[in-house]
Amino acid sequence: MAALTAGKSAPDFKLQTMDGKQFSLREALTRGPVVAAFFKISCPVCQYTFPFLERIYKAHGGKNVTIVGVSQNERKDTAAFIKEYGLTFPVLLDDTNTYPVSNAYGLTNVPTIFWIAQDGEIEISSVGWERKEIEEINRKAAEINGDGQKPVFRSSEQIPDFRAG
């Protein structure tokens, strides 16, 4: 089964955050759209992608858009990843024995990133690295917040259009 696609309803879930709190998708959607980015710490494309998600979070997250990482690793290893890549957005822990949320979303590769609209519909389903999809997430976050779009990529960076996950 491939990852859930745009137009599908996002399965509701509750997961524990790294700081021990409970995150509920349903509750987060009452405040606005949710970006859920699934990853494994050993994944080179995840390591490449997550600093760009952090830029989007710093520019637009925490206002009317919730951005969360969903780790498929143990807490200790996830904490090292967060520190190494300078992540400040919330990171959730999927159960590493059964991966209930990853499986509910049909993950076959990481990173997989979903833009979930406030009504619970998936509007973006991005598997691997797609530059245009990261740019679209950035654009949508700026639009929802009503603040100007800030570039997610620097002119000095050589950013590929695609990298397989």
Exposure pattern of 149-165 as b/e (b: 16+ CB <10 Å)?
A: eeebeeeeeeeeeeeeb
Name the token pair of 126: 């991005």
Let me know if residue 37 belongs to a domain.
no
Provide the number of structural domains found in the chain. 1
Q: Which domain holds residue 58?
A: 1-10+44-127+134-146
In a domain, 108, yes or no: yes
- The whole-model pTM stands at 0.96
Do 60 and 93 meet the contact criterion of CB atoms below 8 Å apart?
A: no
The verdict on residue 36 lying in a domain is no
Whole-angstrom CA distances from 13 to 47, 58, 73 are 25, 25, 18
Let me know if residue 30 belongs to a domain. no
pLDDT at 126 over 70: yes
Q: Per residue in 22-59, pLDDT tens?
A: 999 999 999 999 999 999 999 999 999 999 999 999 99
* Better pLDDT: 119 or 149: 119
Residue 70: which CATH number? Answer: 3.40.30.10
Confidence grade of residue 148 (pLDDT, cut at 50, 70, 90)? confident
The answer to whether residue 32 sits within a structural domain is no
